[in-house]
Amino acid sequence: MVEVAVIGAGPYGLSVAAHLRSLRVPVRVFGKPMSFWQDHTPKGLTLKSDAFASNLSAPGDAFPLERFYRESGRTGYAPIGLRVPAEVLTEYGKEFQRRYVGEVDEAQVVKLARGGKGFDLTLDTGERVSVQAAIVASGLLSLSHIPDSIDRGTPAKLS
């Protein structure tokens, strides 16, 4: 049994996983790293937030976006006024993963249910994983499903 599963490998999932790994908590991360930003945003898209608000969170604040800009030879970093391109955020996230998270299982979690001593996850590969705790950091793409009862404008029935 894995102690913690992080479902989602975007900025929030990678940040949580980095902190858990720094505490030596056994963690397994699921999802394709930075997939929303890489695969589901239009070319040329920039973030609405200023650059200082686009940092991923590493233990000790060790790898802010400004450091990534500097180390990757990019110029023009400014904490305020710089709108970070999605492509740059994707590269930053993947480098962050390499440095602070390590391996990520790209399988998708298709079911999360309470289990014996925590939670049972079912992956799109058919594998089942038991964990003591699950952190859902699934991001914006998972919000694209609208239940039929809401989509049709009819009220959902609560039971």
Confidence of residue 17 (pLDDT cuts 50, 70, 90): very high
pLDDT tens digits, residue range 112-149?
999 888 999 999 999 999 999 999 998 777 666 665 65
Distance CA(101)–CA(34), nearest Å, equals: 13
* Distance between CA atoms of residues 99 and 123, nearest Å: 26
Quick: pLDDT tens for 76-88: 999 999 999 999 9
Q: What's the mean pLDDT in 84-97?
A: 96
Tokens encoding 110: 């298709």
Confidence of residue 5 (pLDDT cuts 50, 70, 90): very high
Q: Residue 159: pLDDT band by 50, 70, 90 thresholds?
A: very low
Other CB atoms within 10 Å distance of the CB of residue 139: 20
Q: Retrieve residue 109's tokens.
A: 């979690």
Q: How far apart are CA 17 and CA 46, in angstroms?
A: 25
* Spatial distance between the Cα atoms of 154 and 15, rounded to a whole number of angstroms: 38
